[in-house]
Amino acid sequence: MSDTITTQQRHANMAAIHSKDTKPEMVVRKWLWGRGYRYRLNHPRLPGKPDIVMLKYRTCIFVNGCFWHGHNVALPQVNGEKLIVNSECCKIPKTNRDFWVAKIRRNQERDKAVKQQLASMGWHSIVIWECELKPKVRERTLESLTYTLNKIFLQDRSPKRYDTPEDAPAMAAEDIT
């Protein structure tokens, strides 16, 4: 099956897609704001400029488009040739396939490196996929997000327990018997 639009039309369509203030991102932001969570957008000092940065929780939220970040796409390498296997929510175009495979692969590698950098800096990373915000599963996804944020908050602020050796007295007045 060939493409139904011209190369120039396809180029214009793809160039019109922006990375900020996307519909899935706006859904997440409205949900968080409505429940009292406060955040910053695209923090320039953090690696990858995360979509949503929650300083109080030391958490970065990435709202990823399934196509652009290759959600559930298998990228096996067979006999030195890099293949790509479509997933339910991410179909790679048949025209200019090598370009799209390379682009998605670079995006995935960059995403992985950014998450590793954030983790080494002590930040939590949460990825929400575009398909997880479809109306059928949106409520469950966003409730799961708030549950995760609350768990991170409680985990980071829980008192640290320090183990003392069994043979040493806990207080100077105790006897060792």
Is 0.85 topped by the overall pTM? no
**pLDDT tens sequence across 47-71:** 999 999 999 999 999 999 888 888 8
Unique residue bearing structure tokens 């996307």: 22
Residue 29's pLDDT band, with cuts at 50, 70 and 90, is very high
Burial degree of 144 (CB within 10 A; 0-12, 13-18, 19+): middle
Residue 42 gets the label, from left (phi > 0), alpha (psi -120 to 50) or beta, of left
Backbone φ, ψ for residue 12 (5° rounding): -65, -40
